[in-house]
Chain A
Amino acid sequence: MSESRRWNEPVAVSGMGVITPYGRGVAAFKQALYEGRSAIGSASLAPLEGSRPVGLLASQSPGEWIEPFISGEHQKGKILKKVLRRKPLPVVLSALAALEAFESADLEKDNPGQMGIVVGGHSLASSYDFEMRRKFDVSPNHVAPSFLIQLLDTDHVGVLSELLGIHGTGLTVGGASASGQMAIIQAANLIRLEEVDRCLVIGPLADLNPMAIQSLDAMGALGGHEYSGKPTLASRPFDQARSGFIFSQACGALILESVSSCKGRRSPMIGFIAGSGVHLDGTALPSPSSRGEQNAMTRALGAAGLTPDEVDTLNAHGTASHAGDIAELEAIASVFGAHAKSLKVQSTKGLLGHTLWAAGVVEAIALLIQMGSGFIHPNANLKNPIRTDIGFAGRHTSQGGPSIALSNSFGFGGINTSLVVMKDWERKTL
C-alpha cells in the first residue's frame, strides 16, 4: 500500500448487485425506483389467514434462479451449479447478487486475494430449518446429513468464498433490521484497518419461517391489513394512516474498497461510505428510542466530518410502524434543527417494503443509484405526513439526485445504525 489510510477516510463502493421483487439486477431496481413503482402485491403469508400485502420475489425456487446461468452458458454457470446445488434460497440469492456486484466492480479477472466477506443478518436458514422439521417429525433419521452446514449462517461465507475465490477474512454480523448496515460498517472498518483492500458485503434474504411471521403479527409489527385489496397503498412510512411494516424480500451486495485500491486498478467509484455511527439503547425490547437514533446519526456525521446542514437527503429507516416513525422524525428534528425542513427525507420501504436483514444494504444501493442517475425516488404513499416541520421527498420522482446523504437502520434490541453516503469525495491535500 502506497499510503496509509486515515481512520475516518471514506471507503469507496466499487460494485453493487441486487435482487428485489422488481427482478434480478441493479437496472430493474433503478427503473422501479425512478418510476416510483410499488413492489407490494397481495399474497398469503403462512400461517396468517387470508391474503396480506407483501413484497415477494418472482420465484421462491432456488433452481429457477440458477437456471438462466446454467442454460445461458454463463462463464460462471458450471461453478454456480456445483456450489449452489441443493442450497436454500437465501444462499442462492446471496451468490447471484454477489456475482453481479463482482462483475460490476470488474473483479472477474482480478486476483481478489486481499478481499473479505461480511454477511449481515442472522437465522438465515430459518425456513429451511422449519421445513426440515417436517422430516424430523416423521423420523430423525430422515434429516439431511448436510442439514447442519446449511443451518449455519456462515454457509453464505463458505459458498461466496468458493464461488468468487475470496480467501481473506469472512464473517457474519447480526443487528436485527440494522444487520445490513452493520455489515457495511464492519466491512468499512476492516478496510480502514488495512486487513483487506476490498470487501464483499451481503444483505441477505430474510427468509422468515411461519413461526417468525406469526410472532411478528402477534406483536403487532406487520401492517397493511386494511389495504389487502389495494396492496400498493399498504406501505405508508411517515403517513398518518400507516399501520406497521410490510414484509418484503430482497438481497443486496456491495463491494467496498479502499480509495487507493480503486485508483490502483482504475476502478470506477460509484460512491463513498464516509462515516457511520452505532448506538445501543441498552434494551432487549423492540421499542424505538429517539435519543439512540439521534446519537447514531450524530456520530455518523461526526465521523464523516460533516455538519448536519451539509446533508441533502435522508434515506430513513421509516418502516411505517406507529411508534417507530414518530421516534425517527423526532430524532431527525433534533439532529437537523431548522435544516430538517430543507432535507429530502425518503423511505425506500414505502415502495419496496421492509426487507429486514437486507434493508441496510438494499437502501444504500437505492441511494447510490439515485446519486448516479440524478433523481430522488418518491414517498408514493405519503399523503398526510405526521410532522410538517420536516422536508420529505415528494409523491412523485424529482430530478437532481442526492450528494450527501444519511441512511438509517434501526433494529429490535435497541440497535441503531446510521451511515453517511456521499456521491463524491476527494482526499484533501495537506
Chain B
Amino acid sequence: MGETPSEASIFAVVKENVLEILEEVDEEAISMEISLKDLGANSLDRAEIATGSMEDLGLSFPMRELAKIKNIGELVKFLEAKVSG
C-alpha cells in the first residue's frame, strides 16, 4: 500500500460521495466549513455519505461514532484519524 491519504485526498473522497448522494449540489459549494445539512442533506443522506466515504477509504466503524460531527471538515479529520490509526 502507498502512503496514508492526505487530508486533501480524504476531502476529495467525501466530496465525491456528497455529489453522488446530493445530485443538485454545486461542486463549488462543498467546503471544509459547511455542514452536510446546510448542503441540503437529510439524516438519511448524511448517513449514506458517511457510509460511502467509509467504504471508499477501506474503513469500518459504527455510524454512532459520527454523532458529534458538525461539518465536512470534522468528518474529514475524523476519517483521517481513522486512516492513520
Tell whether A and B belong to one assembly. yes
The one of B21, B47, B48, B60 that contacts A139, using a Cβ cutoff of 8 Å: B60
A139: which B residues are within 8 A, CB to CB?
A: 55, 60
The answer to whether B60 touches A85, judged by C-beta atoms less than 8 angstroms apart, is no
Q: Is B48 a contact of A142 with CB atoms below 8 Å?
A: no
A81 lies within 8 A of B48 (CB): no
- The reply to whether B51 and A141 form a contact with Cβ atoms under 8 Å apart is yes
**Cβ of B44 and Cβ of A135 under 8 Å apart?**
no
A81-B23, A85-B23, A135-B55 as given contacts; A145 in contact with B60, CB under 8 Å: no
Interface residues of A in 49-108 (CB under 8 A from B): 81, 85-86
Tell me whether A111 is interfacial, beta carbon within 8 Å.
Answer: no
CB of A2 within 8 A of chain B? no
Q: Give the interface centre of A143, A145, A146 by most chain B CB atoms within 10 Å.
A: A145
**Hey, what's the 0/1 contact readout for A133-148 against B, CB within 8 Å counting as 1?**
0010011011111100
- Which residues on the B side are within 8 Å of A146 (C-beta)? 44, 47-48
Which parts of A119-154 form the interface with B (CB within 8 Å)? 135, 138-139, 141-146, 149
* A149, B51: Cα distance in complex, Å: 16
CA distance A194 to B44 in the complex (A): 37
Contact with B along A398-429 (1 / 0, CB 8 A): 00000000000000000000000000000000
Whole-angstrom CA separation of A138 from B47 in the bound complex: 18
Residues from chain A with Cβ under 8 Å of B23 in the complex = 81, 85
B62 within 8 A of A: yes
Kindly list chain A residues whose C-beta atoms are within 8 Å of the C-beta of B72. Answer: none
Selected from A81, A86, A141, A144, the residue in CB contact (under 8 A) with B60 is: A141
Contacts of B63 in A (CB 8 A): 141, 145
Of A85, A86, A145, the residue contacting B47 (CB under 8 A) is A145
Docked complex: B28-63 residues within 8 A CB-CB of A: 44, 47-48, 51, 54-55, 60-63
Q: Can you name the residue of chain A whose Cβ is closest to the Cβ of B47? A: A145
Name the residue of chain B whose CB is nearest to the CB of A149. B44
In contact, A141 and B48 (Cβ under 8 angstroms) = no
* A142 and B55 contacting across the interface, CB-CB below 8 Å: yes
Contact status A141-B54, CB under 8 Å: yes
CB-contacts of A324-363 with B (<8 A): none
Contact with B along A291-321 (1 / 0, CB 8 A): 0000000000000000000000000000000
Size category of the binding interface on chain A: 10 to 19
The docked-state distance in angstroms from the alpha carbon of A143 to that of B52 is 9
| Min CB gap A151→B, angstroms | 14
Chain B residues contacting A138 (CB-CB under 8 Å) are: 55, 60
Please, how many angstroms separate the alpha-carbon atoms of A370 and B62 in the complex?
56
Q: How far is the CA of A277 from the CA of B85 in the complex (A)?
A: 65
Residues of A within 8 Å of B62, CB to CB, are: 141
Contact of B44 with A142 in the complex, beta carbons under 8 Å: no
Judging by beta carbons under 8 Å apart, are B54 and A144 in contact? no
Contacts of B44 in A (CB 8 A): 145-146, 149
CB-contacts of B9-26 with A (<8 A): 21, 23
A145 contacts which chain B residues (CB < 8 A)?
44, 47-48, 51, 63
Which chain A residues border B51 with CB–CB below 8 Å? 141-145
A81-B23, A85-B23 known; A142 and B47 CB under 8 Å? no
Least Cβ distance of A423 to chain B in Å?
45
Distance of A86 Cα from B17 Cα, bound (Å): 13
Q: Provide the residues of chain B in CB contact with A142, threshold 8 Å.
A: 51, 54-55, 60
Scoring A residues 220 to 263 as 1 if CB is less than 8 Å from chain B, else 0, what string do you get? Answer: 00000000000000000000000000000000000000000000
Q: How far is the CA of A146 from the CA of B49 in the complex (A)?
A: 11
Q: How far is the CA of A79 from the CA of B63 in the complex (A)?
A: 30
Question: Residue on A with the closest CB to B23?
Answer: A85
**Chain A contacts for B54, CB-based, 8 A:** 141-142
A135 (CB) vs chain B CBs: closest residue = B55
Complex CA gap A330/B29 in Å reads 69
Which 5 A-B pairs have CB atoms at the shortest separation, nearest pair first?
Answer: A145-B47, A139-B60, A141-B60, A142-B55, A146-B44
The residues of A with any CB-CB pair to B shorter than 8 Å are: 81, 85-86, 135, 138-139, 141-146, 149
A-B contact pairs, 29 of them (CB 8 A): A81-B23, A85-B23, A86-B21, A135-B55, A138-B55, A138-B60, A139-B55, A139-B60, A141-B51, A141-B54, A141-B60, A141-B61, A141-B62, A141-B63, A142-B51, A142-B54, A142-B55, A142-B60, A143-B51, A144-B48, A144-B51, A145-B44, A145-B47, A145-B48, A145-B51, A146-B44, A146-B47, A146-B48, A149-B44
B interface residue numbers (CB < 8 A to A):
21, 23, 44, 47-48, 51, 54-55, 60-63
Other A-B pairs beyond A138-B55, A145-B44, A145-B51, 10, CB < 8 Å: A81-B23, A139-B60, A141-B61, A142-B51, A142-B54, A143-B51, A144-B48, A144-B51, A145-B48, A145-B63
